[in-house]
Structure 1
Amino acid sequence: MSWLRALKESARSGMKVERNRLEPLLALRAAAGLAIVIGGGLVLLGPGAAASSAFGAFQAAIATFQRSWRPRPVLALVSGLTLAVSTFVGYLVGSSHTAAFLALLALWAFLSGMAWAAGPTAGIIASSNVAIMLVTVTLPTSVAQAAGHAALIAAGGVVQAALIVLFPVRRWGAQRDALADALAAEADYARRLRHDPEAPFDPEPLMTARAAATVTPRQARRRPAELHGARGLAERIRPVLASLADPAVGAPAAGPARHRVRELLSAASTVLDAAAHAIRHGEPVRLPGPALAVLTSPDTADLLEGPALRAARRLAALLEDVTETAAPGSGRTADPAESKLRPTLPALVPLVLRAVRAELRPASPVFRHAVRVSVVAPVGSVIGYALPFGHAYWAPMASVMVMRPDFSQTYSRAVARFGGTLLGVAAATGIVQLAQPGVYLSGALAVISAGLMYALLRTGYAVSQVFVSAYVVFLLGMGGTRWDQTVPDRVGLTLVGGLLAMIGYALYPAWETPRLRTRLADWLTANGQYAAAVLRQYADPAGAHRPDVRRALLAARDARVDWQEALARAAGEPVRHRGLSRAAADAAGDALAELGRTAMLLEAHLPDQEHPPVPAAAELAEALQASTEAGAKAVRERRVPEWEGLRAVLAEWDGVEMPESPLLHNGAELLLDCLDEVSEALRP
């Protein structure tokens, strides 16, 4: 993609407005917290203190809207406390020495950039705190005032956290939605399998549900019973659905058996949709009679046989477990000892430090982002001081807020921030000129602007910036700053900050395109390990370790998501493919997705511990893992992978009678076909 086209796509993406489900009650609660802080500050301490505390409450509320499975009060408290500390330290350093403040800003910006190693939520909160700190350090005029302002900022976070505790909105709503989305995705998968037995399935809803099911010890004691266990059942249903529909291991492609399979898949989708609705809304499960009749019909045993019949019976049992689990007040209890526990904040510190240490390398996108933001922020401050504007902090603040570890987000956010700022400042300026608001009316307008921003936060960055800009204009107007002192400064310096962010990425990029082969090789290795773990279960059913299959499956999913995210980022980068064209990447990705699906089909029919072992499966597993690891090395070295070792083992299978021979042999042939498709996709 050329630079001109990449810039056009980034601009279009940045100004895009998305239709998304609004959450007015959450926005109202956040705005109410802001109103309490601003109103109390105006009455008790005056406009300056009110503005300072308002920044703390404003940022704490934004932190609670980030996608995180931690308790929302914790996010508000952490955001308010870290912003308070940053403000106090920033004032102490910057009140007397500008150079020292620039050095501190560079350090703060670098640390906020490295916070992305701990995840997007930590990165966004850290970046926002640095940006707002640039404003709040200008409000105090003495060390005592700086301490007071820091305390007020922390108090703003406490107010938001207290409102979340006192006025909860839809408890466990995010976890309910994640689990319901996973079940709904399974239902959609069952419907698509009726018409396409090899339909693909994106495991992202299951991965999201798994992340939502990981709770803190306190959450584990309070979690509703219907949110405990259904995700594991959904994980087990997926391979059963696939194996029932696939003609290679299930029912024939045509005839009465195929008709019964379609009926079973339709009934399964109905039951899964009903369970998803019940979990999402906390209601009893309402199952239609026809679906239950199909699942329990004795005619199934007459129409299906072998693996297809086993899959049908297992599907009916799993769906029954899902409906029992999803029923509120069913008598089930969630045992905290059986929950996947998320580390507490103190226990999280060494994990974050290890993640940051792992990213301290020149090739890391997180490290490059940290370096960029640590250079651009001080440079923006120097330029802001040099230009004939006031409020020099707006240039570095814009840079810090728009910079992200990848190209597309940085450039699209830069365009969106300038466009949103221009519209927001223009609208707020018109209101100020017409209404001439006083202190209290300015505070009310600031709260209204913030409330609209909270409500529309997920519709697009440009939309949120319209109301953020209006909020800042009204808030500074509350403190006595005239609109004509803020409008040209904010617009001009926001443009400067956005341009600096874009130039910084262009000069020190972290392109994803050259790493596509590495991402593809990682996915190939993970899929090979998953398939090999499944085959080892057939080789030794009595001594099988099912957690090995589970760990390998999760690793394969993570590798797939990394590949998909890398491919999406690379699609918008203004660089050549460097050895892996888009067509080759798509074809190889489709082949690896089919490889994972074939391994899943084999997993659906894992033998019981009493089943006789299949020794040849161990040899196949070793050959498959060795071949995929060697193939991954070839992919990284820009060679076409070959699978001769696996092909030789399969050749020895021909004519050998083994238990489960048709299922294993067909599955092994499908695995080799998928690997051959990978080679064809990468062949020049």
Structure 2
Amino acid sequence: MPSPELAPPAAWWARAARPARPPWPVALMVRAAVGMAVPLAAGLLTHRLDLGTFAGLGAMHATMNDRVEPARLRAARIGTAAFASAVGMLVGTGLQHAHAGVLALGTALTVTAFVSGALSATGPRGSAAGMLLLVSAALGSGMPLPRPWWAAAPLLLAGAVFVTLLGLPGRARHRPAADPRNRALAAAYEALGRTLADLGTPRGVASRRVLTARLNQVQDLLPGSGGPRAARPHRMYEAALAATEAATGLLWARRPVPPEVAEVPARLAAAVRRGGGEVAVPHWRPDTPARRALDAALRAAADTVAGREPRLGTAPAPPPDPWRLRARPLSRASVRYGLRVALCIAAGAAVTAGYPLSKSYWVPMTIAFVLKPDLGSVFLRAVSRSVGTVLGVALTAALLPLTTNEWALTAIAALCVALLPYATAAHYGLNTVAMTPMALVLLQLGGQSGAAEFWPRVLDTALASAVVLLFGYLLWPERPRHRIEPRLVTAASALRAYLDATAREGEAARAGATAREGETAHEAATAHPGGARPQAQVWLRRTAYRSLADARQEVQHGLAEPPPTGRLAERWLPATAALERLGGAVAAYSAQVRYGGRVPDPAETDRVRRALDELTAAAREHRPPTTAAARPTAPHDPALSALGRAADELELLLKPS
């Protein structure tokens, strides 16, 4: 029987409607509110609210891309998105200023949509820039022009620059706790402590997934950082990865650790926030290879946090670039996505040309938001956008009869923008609920509409969502397997690379033990620093678990869609869980190799390789497994092969029903 953690909800809509519960990002929310309020207030005081509105839009676009991260990464993230937004605004306002006809405007927006989609498919930075390029082009083509008309784009940039400046570190920038890298590292160590505390309990798997997400966040903050100040966070991160590898092996083996050991990562986190200090690791008697691996990793982490440079046994970290391109700008994948967005915009333009819409730019703007490629299911976003718009319009219609004072409306807009950082992390529908009143209030401030015109925005949103569902989802030649199964292939390939590196270490350990009679396997494996871990297993494991997290996220998105997508995701869910357990088995195998446990026979490693190859082939051929491997309930015997049990699980998963 599958474990309870794999059981999908009774109804797909229940999962789709359930919001997450992220922490409140207070700093981001304050910056967002000030970033919107100041430009609007300046516009009111100078009687140039038309200029203040565009600066406020720029501040909102910056808020949508604001993160708690080092200043250089943050400036690059916001700057790229703001530049694309300004270019789009220049295109849109230029078309409006030239009095472009319906055909010319539709053609120009379609071409812009193709560029936007192709850019969006290149990676996270391109996704944000591509969406805002199209959104701003649509807004610029329909919003009342400022005086002079070309001022809209520079003011958009000015609003984004203002938000960027608000986030620059102040006098406290030299405090360790103010460094975003230290804060992320501390959060990762805390997540490690929760994982250790949950070993052997049903909560262990969920805790490990949170730990993976925290390590992903740290990884995204470290690239491009140089100098002595960056070397120490890198070492602390590597120590956390080594401890995570050991904890993953213990989680797979269902072996808890003493409470005083599980408390060490929390003390490490506190020391990281202080900027360093001694952290005592209790003296205990680790009696399995995985426990010995954890003990060694925690002591190495304590040395690193204290400022010493322990030997972590890892190769230098590769540059993990969060801005890496998923596809080249003119690759098949980017061109394909560009055509998808362009088709939807062209269809939307054709529909709006036949109907008298008062704010025709609302349709392409909505299409751009719904089709952003890294926000999850297109189906779920389209439905959530429509429902969120209805709720947002209802909320605005209830508020505006109470006051039409411009200063009160400015405060409402600032409050709505302040909610965006939290709402975006919680649920796409909540994001729309917060964004819709803000947009309508800006229209009201600019004298562009009254309360009577708010409800037509629901019709516009429903129309745009219908276009996306029809042309970008139902009729588009892409099925759920094109999203889910490639991620599983990537994860399985990364796991195989991790397994191969660990197997080579095992072979070296066996050969070294034979050549050096009387040495332990661990001594033989670590006798030569240059050959102990030549393939940097810890980084291969990091790559594998990041790929697994991406695969699971795609499956979870699929579960929130109605059949057949939800049914397909449900069939692939056991395979995703089995791959995660295999990662734990390889981590346990690595500990067995390095800390005196049983080294599996090459035949057992080959069994796992064959099972991985079969699973990869099934994913490529769109053949989800028909059975589920049962999750073991008893602790693993360290005298037995970790890979042997993992092979048993995979073979059961792939067994025809």
Contact 2:88 2:135 (C-alpha < 8 Å) held by counterparts: no
1:446 counterpart residue number: 413
Residue from 558, 578, 583 that aligns with 1:570:
558
1:126 counterpart residue number: 130
2:168 and 2:241 mapped to 1: Cα distance? 33
Residue from 270, 280, 284 that aligns with 2:263:
270
Matched, 1:603 2:590: yes
Q: Which moved more, 1:99-108 or 1:131-140?
A: 131-140
2:290 and 2:421 mapped to 1: Cα distance? 47
Code of the residue aligned with 1:494 in structure 2: it is T
Matched, 1:472 2:439: yes
Give runs of aligned pairs for residues 11-26 of structure 1, distance below 5 A. Answer: 16-26=18-28
1:437 counterpart residue number: 405
1:553 counterpart residue number: 541
2:480 counterpart residue number: 512
Contact 2:199 2:251 (C-alpha < 8 Å) held by counterparts: yes
Code of the residue aligned with 1:100 in structure 2: it is A
Cα pair distance change 1:147/1:623, threshold 3 Å: same
2:370 counterpart residue number: 402
Displacement of 1:478 in angstroms is 2.0
Matched, 1:491 2:458: yes
1:639 and 1:502 mapped to 2: Cα distance? 26
Quick check: which has more Rg, 1 or 2? 1
SS in 2 for 1:598: helix
Cα deviations across residues 499-539 of structure 1 (Å, max 9, x unaligned)? 22222211215322477566555544443443232121122
Contact 2:93 2:141 (C-alpha < 8 Å) held by counterparts: yes
Contact 1:406 1:569 (C-alpha < 8 Å) held by counterparts: no
Q: Unmatched 5+ residue regions in structure 1?
A: 1-5, 248-252, 254-260, 642-661
Contact 1:429 1:483 (C-alpha < 8 Å) held by counterparts: no
Cα pair distance change 1:76/1:43, threshold 3 Å: farther
The percentage of aligned residue pairs carrying the same residue is: 20
2:328 counterpart residue number: 355
Displacement of 1:271 in angstroms is 0.7
Code of the residue aligned with 1:316 in structure 2: it is D
2:29 and 2:158 mapped to 1: Cα distance? 19
Displacement of 1:226 in angstroms is 6.2
SS in 2 for 1:381: helix
1:531 and 1:203 mapped to 2: Cα distance? 20
Cα pair distance change 1:411/1:223, threshold 3 Å: farther
Cα deviations across residues 607-636 of structure 1 (Å, max 9, x unaligned)? 59xx9x99x966876776467436644664
Displacement of 1:9 in angstroms is 6.2
SS in 2 for 1:480: coil
Matched, 1:137 2:116: no
Displacement of 1:64 in angstroms is 0.9
Matched, 1:417 2:395: no
Displacement of 1:120 in angstroms is 4.0
Matched, 1:229 2:235: yes
SS in 1 for 2:454: helix
1:250 counterpart residue number: none
More helix by share: 1
1:77 and 1:275 mapped to 2: Cα distance? 35
Residue from 641, 661, 666 that aligns with 2:641:
666
Cα pair distance change 1:484/1:340, threshold 3 Å: same
Code of the residue aligned with 2:297 in structure 1: it is L
Displacement of 1:25 in angstroms is 3.2
Give runs of aligned pairs for residues 515-526 of structure 1, distance below 5 A. Answer: 520=488, 523-526=491-494
Matched, 1:378 2:384: no
2:556 and 2:212 mapped to 1: Cα distance? 20
RMSD of aligned residue pairs (Cα, Å): 4.4
Displacement of 1:667 in angstroms is 3.9
Displacement of 1:190 in angstroms is 2.5
Displacement of 1:487 in angstroms is 1.3
Contact 2:59 2:162 (C-alpha < 8 Å) held by counterparts: yes
Contact 1:215 1:340 (C-alpha < 8 Å) held by counterparts: no
Contact 2:71 2:168 (C-alpha < 8 Å) held by counterparts: no
Cα deviations across residues 266-316 of structure 1 (Å, max 9, x unaligned)? 22211112223444x5476796x8xx5xx325xx39xx4xxx3x6555543
2:611 and 2:387 mapped to 1: Cα distance? 52
Give runs of aligned pairs for residues 151-190 of structure 1, distance below 5 A. Answer: 151-165=154-168, 175-190=181-196
SS in 2 for 1:565: helix
1:654 counterpart residue number: none
Code of the residue aligned with 1:190 in structure 2: it is L
Equivalent pairs, count: 607
1:222 and 1:9 mapped to 2: Cα distance? 52
Displacement of 1:138 in angstroms is 3.3
Q: Unmatched 5+ residue regions in structure 2?
A: 1-7, 510-527, 626-636
Code of the residue aligned with 2:161 in structure 1: it is V
2:83 counterpart residue number: 81
Displacement of 1:374 in angstroms is 1.3
Cα pair distance change 1:381/1:67, threshold 3 Å: farther
Cα pair distance change 1:232/1:210, threshold 3 Å: farther
Contact 2:62 2:81 (C-alpha < 8 Å) held by counterparts: yes
Give the TM-score taking structure 2 as reference length: 0.78
Contact 1:598 1:667 (C-alpha < 8 Å) held by counterparts: yes
Contact 1:115 1:356 (C-alpha < 8 Å) held by counterparts: yes
Q: Which moved more, 1:28-37 or 1:90-99?
A: 90-99
Give the TM-score taking structure 1 as reference length: 0.75
Displacement of 1:228 in angstroms is 3.4
Cα deviations across residues 48-83 of structure 1 (Å, max 9, x unaligned)? 222222211221122215999963233333222221
SS in 1 for 2:387: helix
Code of the residue aligned with 1:323 in structure 2: it is A
Code of the residue aligned with 1:26 in structure 2: it is L
Cα pair distance change 1:44/1:14, threshold 3 Å: farther
Cα pair distance change 1:26/1:223, threshold 3 Å: farther
